[in-house]
Amino acid sequence: MSARFSTADVGTSRQFHYFRETICETVIQLGARRRHVGPFGAEIATHGFGPLRFIDVCCDPVTIERNPSHIAHESRGSFFVTLQIAGTGFVRQRGREARLEPGEFTVLDSTEPYVLHFDVPVRRLVVEVPRDEIQHRAGLANDLRGVSFDRHRPGAGLAFQVFSALHREAPGLPGNGQSRLAARALDLAVAAMMGSSGIPTEKAEDPRGMLCALRDYARANLSDPELTPAAAARANGISVRYLHQLFRGAGTSFGTWVREQRLEQCHDAIADPSQSGRSISDIAFTGGFNDAAHFSRTFAQRYGYPPSRLRARRSS
């Protein structure tokens, strides 16, 4: 879906307020401030392409900030590839400060605070990418956030051109196959970025820390019947093979561990007097099971009695 917003459509006294509110509604929860009062020129155009969203922003000098209170009100996690088309500015995240000239870009993580500052009118192309789509391509050891991809670095210019061309051509491309084409473009862009020097390398997660992260992700998504090893691995930036290796090292498998967590959650809900008004099937479906009969058999195998007996015993 495409949308376009312009401060030319509102009165002078409301232009900056309109800009600030539009960003929060169309892009992500942010704060914005400026040094001077008076008219404020800005135009924002958005359109999607597969899993990507393009936000083309032209605006007068401004400082944009995303702080912990903004982050707390949103659950989605995205990376914003911010391409500088015109004007210059600074970006700060993770204690890094990057100066952006036209033809350069940086990557920002929506789950962490950041600041963008522009002293002159600018145009930026922001590409919103689901967080895991970049993480699993770049790998955990390579931290792209807050890095200035200088146009003179090998690879950086190619990545800039890939995103720019996809934005330019996307409106005319057919709807079917968008996700596949976006994935191929991301493969090329991230590979080019990885070829650019100057990317900070961090120590990869230790096995125990990664296993804890995988378990936390799974617990938060137990209600999703589509919770799979591939989904968990992708969300945490690792391979499915490594995921299976970690759970095998803990003496279990991903599927077995998830099933055990779901059964415990359902057992507690069925035994809870405050949830006596809910049917066992509803509890099972909410717990991530998609077949009531299968749930009853699995439950009985695990606890030695069917869920109906537990409900009857708690009701007596």
Of 15-24, 66-75, 227-236, which range is least confident?
A: 66-75
pLDDT digits (tens, 9 = 90+) for 123-162: 999 999 988 788 778 775 567 888 888 888 888 999 999 9
Q: Tell me the average pLDDT across 212-232.
A: 87
pLDDT digits (tens, 9 = 90+) for 157-179: 999 999 999 999 888 877 777 88
First vs last C-alpha separation in the chain: 55
Phi-psi region of 261 (alpha: psi -120 to 50; beta: other; left: phi over 0): alpha
**Considering only CA atoms, which of 184, 143, 146 is closest in space to residue 165?**
184
pLDDT digits (tens, 9 = 90+) for 28-63: 889 999 988 899 999 999 999 989 999 999 999 999
- In the sheet that holds 96-100, the strands lie side by side as 31-33, 62-66, 114-118, 89-93, 96-100
Q: Which amino acid is at 135?
A: Q
Beta bridge partners of 116: 64, 91
Q: Is the pLDDT of residue 316 over 50?
A: yes
Q: What pLDDT shows up at residue 146?
A: 82
- If pLDDT is split at 50, 70 and 90, which confidence band does 99 have? confident
Cβ–Cβ under 8 Å, residues 254 and 244: yes
Is the full-model pTM beyond 0.75? no
DSSP code, position 269: H
Q: Is the pLDDT of residue 197 over 60?
A: no
Mean pLDDT of the chain: 87
Q: Tell me the average pLDDT across 211-223.
A: 87
Q: What is the H or E stretch that residue 243 is in?
A: helix 240-249
Domains of the chain: 3-194 (2.60.120.10), 205-316 (1.10.10.60)
- Please state, in angstroms and as integers, the Cα–Cα distance from residue 112 to each residue in 60, 72, 126, 290, following that order: 25, 10, 17, 35
Q: What pLDDT shows up at residue 116?
A: 94
